[in-house]
Structure 1
């Protein structure tokens, strides 16, 4: 995954949203969860795994927080990804999803398989989770 540069303030904001135990799916160099997973071994994740392969290597209802930070747009099937998130997330847990704006040409990368607007992301996530802001 491409390295995204973030300020310490932003990193602390995202960390503040996470409940333990937490997992970061597609962490890249942004390893802020209890468990960080990525396909790229060069970023030294806790677990090397292709997030396009299902099921993910976790038991059911294990995590209080699932973070998809600039990773969902890189994956082939966001529906299956969110279905896996439901499987591994505790019933009272939270999912945090950050995706780039499709209006920003800087983020129109060829390795992005999906582009989400605020509404399209909300519609997608609402199929799997309630209380979507």
Structure 2
């Protein structure tokens, strides 16, 4: 996997997803590209396969997701050698099957991340690496509309919005950076990298532009996948406008977390 700039990842994502998601994922992709993923690799919580389309030059060994509709759509990307529908708490793979496991903003949607992480440890080979991004508790604290509602004295409405937001996006665990690190270590991993990513401004943009995502989300309900179409000039324009926000050349007080952990060979 050759390292690509966040700008290029943003362009690629804008061909596939609503603006809100493209901004967040472009930042994640930039940081994930700093790690060399040894094969075979497992994509845990692969979803529709959008990240694989944008990120991987070569097909991924295995993608796994609990949702059969997402697995069916991921097959159409041609980015996986094998796709498996399974619960991440009970991975149907032999012990020490993979050299790398990657997971992109999936763990926060799972009810038992500790059990999932122990399963990941099991299927990794000695010295294998877990590379993941997760949304933290700072995400909901930096949403655009709740901030606006609080500024005009509507705190209860702001709290209700956050609650509804998390229900819509099926967030089960929005933990702090320290809590996520604790989960990883307690599962038996040696933590190598823990970096806050995705600035509060990106979180605000995500929330602000959600309204523009409704056609894609409606298509998702109707045909089982997002349908996004933008003319090339619009992709170019949006990339120029938002490039400086996704670059993140300096450390940020992030709303997401980038983690790299190793399974000790001892």
Common fold by TM > 0.5: yes
Counterpart position of 2:125: 90
Residue of 84, 87, 110 corresponding to 1:51: 87
Richer in helix (by share): 2
Is 1:120 the counterpart of 2:120 in the alignment? no
Write out aligned runs for 1:1-133 (5 A): 4-5=21-22, 6-7=25-26, 11=29, 13-17=31-35, 18-28=37-47, 29-31=50-52, 32=56, 33-38=60-65, 39=67, 40-45=70-75, 46-52=82-88, 54=90, 56-105=91-140, 106=143, 109-110=166-167, 111-127=170-186, 128-133=188-193
Shift of 1:37: 1.5
Q: Deviations over 1:25-72 (max 9, x none)?
A: 001222244322222235325424242552x11111011111121110
Structure 2: gaps of 5 or more residues: 1-16, 76-81, 144-161, 194-266
Q: Deviations over 1:52-101 (max 9, x none)?
A: 552x1111101111112111011111111011101100111100121113
Contact preservation (8 Å) 1:125, 1:132: no
CA distance in 1, matches of 2:190, 2:130: 11
Structure 1: gaps of 5 or more residues: none
How much is the aligned-residue C-alpha RMSD, in angstroms? 2.4
Counterpart position of 2:221: none
Distance 1:52 1:87, change over 3 A: closer
Shift of 1:10: 5.1
Distance 1:61 1:43, change over 3 A: same
Distance 1:20 1:65, change over 3 A: same
Contact preservation (8 Å) 1:26, 1:51: no
Contact preservation (8 Å) 2:64, 2:71: no
